[in-house]
Amino acid sequence: MAGEFDFIQWIAAQNRAGNLVQLGVGDDLAVLNWPADDLLLVGVDQVLEGVHFDSAVHSPRQIGKKAINRSVSDCAAMGCLPAAAVATVALPKHFSLDQAKELYLGMRQAAEAFDCPIVGGDTAAWDGKLIATVTILGRTSGIRPVARSGAKAGDRIFVTGPLGGSILGRHIEFVPKVALGRELAALASAMIDISDGLSRDLGHICRCSGVGAILQAESVPIHPDAVELSRRDGRAALEHALHDGEDYELLYTTSRPTAPGICIGRIVEKPGMWLQDERKNLRALEIAGWQHVWGSAP
Ligand SMILES: [Mg+2]
């Protein structure tokens, strides 16, 4: 990219002070004031051209927002608050300074919605495609972090919204459910955000918790996008709801009979996952989560 140093200087000039930030972008490392009674949660996630976005369809601003929001959604999944982010970008050589700025502004726009400063990062231009990697620092701020490993036989399984067909657009424009995640932290025994698809992400909870699950087929909330995709590709809308990825809804288990969202099933002792129809017939629920490959959407 032409003007790489202009870009770095421009980012440093965008720097904004916050409560947590003692020293932000522009030094060797950022310095944060960390509240003594908070746990620090750390995670990293990347978005890749051709896997998580398509530059022919998505703007740099949308891509920047998605890069941040994926990591913020992981904060929601733990019940924690995003506190700060660190971002690296590998820019294609043909990227213009304006495109690079738009990418950064997308990141900042998404992060600021959660009062989460971008406190550092790295940028380089190369012969390859666009890659953006975001490390997120989260803080507990009064909650107990919710792991994937706490589900118990008898718990009910809830999801916070309709699923399937996100490839039609919701995968790039979604709002991480941070406030809801904090509310759920008080009652959830296990929690995850649905990035890989309901079947795969429920599989993560089951494996980490050493339990199994039975889903009620008729209870799984189907997004209109899943219905639209079904119309185009002939696969059942329920299959899209079960297996498509990047819904970024929260999936959680709780011992409470009623809780926010839609109850879609229950946790059982025996490892494995099953789908139960209205006649109480069980069939094995195979994991077929989103394969992170573009070009398959009709
Ligand atoms: Mg996640």
Residue 149 domain-assigned (yes or no): no
Looking at residue 39, what DSSP letter applies?
Answer: P
Look at residues 114, 103, 15 and name the one whose alpha carbon lies nearest to residue 74.
Answer: 114
Distance between Cα 237 and ligand 1 center (Å) = 23
24-73 pLDDT per residue, tens: 888 899 999 999 999 999 999 999 999 999 999 999 999 999 999 999 99
Distance between Cα 78 and ligand 1 center (Å) = 9
Distance between Cα 62 and ligand 1 center (Å) = 19
Residue 145 domain-assigned (yes or no): no
Is 65 found in the same domain as 31?
A: yes
As for how many domains the chain has, the answer is: 2
pLDDT for residue 14: 77
82-125 pLDDT per residue, tens: 999 999 999 999 999 999 999 999 999 999 999 999 999 999 99
Cβ 80 vs Cβ 183: under 8 Å: no
Residue 297 domain-assigned (yes or no): no
CA 109, distance to chain mean position in Å, is: 17
Q: How many CA atoms lie within 13 A of 89 on its CB side?
A: 28
Distance between Cα 113 and ligand 1 center (Å) = 19
Cβ 124 vs Cβ 90: under 8 Å: yes
Residue 151 domain-assigned (yes or no): no
pLDDT for residue 53: 95
Is 214 found in the same domain as 278?
A: yes
Distance between Cα 98 and ligand 1 center (Å) = 31
Distance between Cα 70 and ligand 1 center (Å) = 8
Look at residues 249, 267, 158, 164 and name the one whose alpha carbon lies nearest to residue 210.
Answer: 267
124-148 pLDDT per residue, tens: 999 999 999 999 999 999 999 999 9
The amino acid present at 182, given as its one-letter code, is: R
Residue 289 domain-assigned (yes or no): no
Please check the confidence at residue 292 and state whether its pLDDT lies above 60: no
Is 161 found in the same domain as 129?
A: no
pLDDT for residue 4: 75
Is 20 found in the same domain as 112?
A: yes
Is 212 found in the same domain as 105?
A: no
Is 268 found in the same domain as 179?
A: yes
Is 106 found in the same domain as 184?
A: no
226: domain CATH number? 3.90.650.10
Please check the confidence at residue 295 and state whether its pLDDT lies above 90: no
132: domain CATH number? 3.30.1330.10
Is 166 found in the same domain as 131?
A: no
233-283 pLDDT per residue, tens: 999 999 999 999 999 999 999 999 999 999 999 999 999 999 999 999 999
pLDDT for residue 1: 64
**Residue keyed to tokens 């009674």:** 37
Look at residues 153, 154, 167, 152 and name the one whose alpha carbon lies nearest to residue 243.
Answer: 167
Pairing of strands 272-276, 212-216: parallel
Distance between Cα 102 and ligand 1 center (Å) = 26
Distance between Cα 182 and ligand 1 center (Å) = 15
Is 165 found in the same domain as 132?
A: no
Domain interval for residue 71? 4-139
**Residue keyed to tokens 């629920």:** 285
140-188 pLDDT per residue, tens: 999 999 999 999 999 999 999 999 999 999 999 999 999 999 999 999 9
Cβ 115 vs Cβ 21: under 8 Å: no
Distance between Cα 43 and ligand 1 center (Å) = 9
Please check the confidence at residue 293 and state whether its pLDDT lies above 60: no
Distance between Cα 93 and ligand 1 center (Å) = 31
Distance between Cα 185 and ligand 1 center (Å) = 15
Beta partners for residue 263, in sequence order? 158
pLDDT for residue 278: 93
Is 204 found in the same domain as 119?
A: no
Buried b (16+ CB within 10 A) or exposed e, 239-254: bbbbbbbbbbbbbbbb
Q: Quote the pTM value.
A: 0.94
Is 201 found in the same domain as 123?
A: no
Is 127 found in the same domain as 21?
A: yes
| Cβ-based neighbour number of residue 15 at 10 Å | 17
